[in-house]
Amino acid sequence: MPLRRDKKPKPLGVCTVCRDYTDEHIRMNHRCVQVHRGRRCSGVYRSSLTVVWIECPTCHGTGSVGSQKCGECAGWGWLLHSMR
Ligand SMILES: [Zn+2]
Ligand SMILES: [Zn+2]
């Protein structure tokens, strides 16, 4: 029997440029930490309350498939549908 996993909470913030997710309060409204082609992303993490999320169809919001991290949502359990 597979282990029944709980759904993950939605990410706390989303980068306005690269749509990186964060769940750390300290990063909110601060510069994105991602580096793209050697340049730091110019985006800022904004509250994900303005984001429409869809539950990841691959892992059903749990962030993992079997014992593996879900590749579809990178383990978050949620996919960004649209930003308002
Ligand atoms: Zn970014
Ligand atoms: Zn997933």
Query: Is the Cβ–Cβ distance between 7 and 40 less than 8 Å?
Result: no
Say if residue 84's pLDDT is above 80: no
Buried b (16+ CB within 10 A) or exposed e, 33-55: eeeeeeeebebbbeebeebebeb
CA 65 to ligand 1 center in whole angstroms? 26
CA 3 to ligand 1 center in whole angstroms? 34
Q: What is the value of pTM for the model shown?
A: 0.82
Which helix (H) or strand (E) covers residue 64, if one does?
A: strand 64-65
Q: What pLDDT digit, counting tens, does each position of 17-39 carry?
A: 999 999 999 999 999 999 989 99
Ligand nearest to the Cα of 62, by number: 2
Query: Is the Cβ–Cβ distance between 10 and 53 less than 8 Å?
Result: yes
